[in-house]
Amino acid sequence: MTRTQLPLQRRDDDLGRALATALPERVRDGVLAHRPVSVVFDLVGLGRWVVRTRFGTVSVDTRIPARPTATITADPAAVVPLLAGQYSLVEAFLTGGLRVRGSMAAVLALGGILSPAADLPVRARVREAAVFGVRTAYLDAGAPGGSSVVLLHGLGATSASMLPVLADLVAEHRVLAPDLPGFGSSAAPNWDYDPVQLQRWLRAFLDTVAAPASAVIGHSLGGRVALELALREPETVRALVLLCPALAAGRRRPLTALARRIPADLARLPLAVPQRLLRDGTRGAYRTLFADPDRVARHWFDAAADEWEITLRDPAHRRALWSATLGLYLDEPFGDRGVWSRLPQLAVPTLCVWGADDPLVPARFADHLTVTAPQVRSVILPDCGHLPQFEWPEATGALIDDFLTRTACYPRTAATG
C-alpha cells in the first residue's frame, strides 16, 4: 500500500516527510523485498535522511549509518520533482541532478519503487530471476507490449553502464538490462567465463524473461557475447548492435601459453590494496578509456569507480572478472571455433559502432569486418574512446534508434539493413 502524497515544500521537515510518503510501506517483490539496504539522501543545505529496507519493510529516519549501502547527494530543487513523480531517478542521474556513491544497484532498486503511482517511462525496476542456475539481477523498463531490446554491459561493468541507451529506447520498447553472471548484483558461479558459456546463459535469459527474438545491444564483452548468440542461434536475435565489441585479436598473442596456465581461482586471494588507492586508481583507469574524459561528468566516474571497487572486494566476483578477462584474451580468432572465421555466416542484421580513439578495441577492426562480413554496417565515431554511450550519447542513440527502426521493429523477412 502506498502512503498518501504530501505537498512538497523546500523546508527540511517537509522534504523528510515527502521522502517517506514517496515510498511504499512494503515491497513485496524485487530485490528490496528480501535484501536489507540503507540509502542516504544528502540534500545539500537541508539535511540527511536514510531510507532502509529490511524484510520488505521500508522506513525513513535520520539515524545515518556509518557505512550505508549508498549515498545520494542532490540539490533539493532536483529532489522535489523526483519525489513528486515528475521524472525518474534514472533521468535525474543521467542529467546530473543527483550524484551516487556506493552501490548504484541499490540506488536503482530504490528508484524503481519511488512514487509508484507515477507513470514514468524511464523508470527501471530491478528484478531477479534464476537463469541457467544463476541468480540474475536485471533492469526491466519501458513499454511492456513493445518489442524487446536486451542490453549487455562490458567487462567489469554492470547494467548501470547501459543507462544512456536504456533511456533512449524505453518510449517504444521493453528494455531489459541484466548484470551478467559474475558482475554487479548477479551471482558469480564457479565458471569459465568465456563467450560461449556466457552465450548459453544469455539464451536462457531470453527464455526466462519471455523475450524471444529480441534486439540485442552489447558493449565490449557484452558485444562479444551477443555476437556469439547471433552466430549460434540467429533465430533468437532479431537485430544486433555492437558497441566497441571485444572481438578476438589476431594471430600474435605472445602470452597465450602463460594465460592458459593461470588458474582463475588465484583471483580469490585477498586483495591487499588500500581502499583510497584502489578507488583513485580505478577512477584514473576509467578516464583513459575516453578520448576526452573531461567531456564526461565526474559523477559518472565516481559511480563507475565505486561499482568496480565493490566487484574487486568480493572474491567470487573478482574471480569472475579475471576469468572473463582470460576468456577474451584466449578467444580464438580463426579456425572452426574462431569468431573471425565464422563472421561471414552472420545472418542477423548488425550494426557495429567503433570509437576512433578506443584504447582497447582498435577502430581498424572496422576495416577487417567490412572485408570479412560485408553485410555488417560499421560506423566509426571520431574523437571517441571505448564507451560511446557515455562520450557521445546523442550520436550513439541516434544510430541505434535509426537501425532498430529499420530492422528490429519489423519481422526478419522485412528487414532492410
CA angle 155, 139, 165 (to 5 degrees): 65
The residue type found at 220 is S
- C-alpha pair distances (Å), 146 with each of 106, 149, 171, 264: 27, 9, 9, 40
Alpha helices, H only, 112-255:
163-169, 195-208, 221-232
Q: Are 100 and 125 in contact (CB under 8 A)?
A: no
What does pLDDT average to in each consecutive run of 10 residues of the chain (417 residues)?
36 71 85 89 91 91 94 90 92 94 94 89 92 97 90 96 97 96 96 96 97 95 98 97 91 52 54 64 86 92 89 91 91 90 96 97 93 95 98 97 79 36
Q: Please give the DSSP secondary-structure letter assigned to residue 183.
A: S
Q: Are 146 and 215 in contact (CB under 8 A)?
A: no
Q: Are 72 and 107 in contact (CB under 8 A)?
A: yes
Which residue, among 150, 139, 155, has the nearest Cα to 206 in the 3D structure?
150
Contacts of 114 (CB under 8 A, 6+ apart): 22, 23, 82, 83, 85, 88, 89
What length does the chain have?
Answer: 417
Q: Where in the chain is the domain with CATH 3.40.50.1820?
A: 124-414
What's the pTM value of the predicted model, to 2 decimals? 0.90
pLDDT of residue 196: 97
The residue type found at 180 is L
Name the CATH code of domain 12-111 (choices 2.40.110.10, 3.40.50.920, 3.90.1150.10, 3.30.1050.10): 3.30.1050.10
Q: Where in the chain is the domain with CATH 3.30.1050.10?
A: 12-111
Q: Are 3 and 24 in contact (CB under 8 A)?
A: yes
Q: Which neighbouring-strand residues pair with 59?
A: 52
Cβ atoms within 10 Å, residue 315: 15
- Give the neighbor-by-neighbor strand order of the sheet with 98-102: 57-61, 47-54, 37-43, 70-74, 98-102
Grid cell digits, residue 21: 510518503
Rounded to whole angstroms, the Cα distance separating 193 from 190 reads: 9
Q: Please give the DSSP secondary-structure letter assigned to residue 6.
A: P
CATH class of the domain defined by 124-414:
alpha beta
Contacts within 8 Å (CB) and 24+ apart, 280-284: 282/308, 282/309
Grid cell digits, residue 305: 569507480
Contacts of 406 (CB under 8 A, 6+ apart): 415, 416, 417
- C-alpha pair distances (Å), 340 with each of 64, 254, 308, 333, 345: 54, 19, 30, 5, 10
Q: Please give the DSSP secondary-structure letter assigned to residue 24.
A: B
Rounded to whole angstroms, the Cα distance separating 273 from 313 reads: 10
pLDDT of residue 283: 79
CA angle 173, 117, 108 (to 5 degrees): 60
Which residue, among 414, 356, 406, 408, has the nearest Cα to 217 in the 3D structure?
408
Contacts of 339 (CB under 8 A, 6+ apart): 195, 224, 227, 228, 231, 247, 248, 331, 332, 333
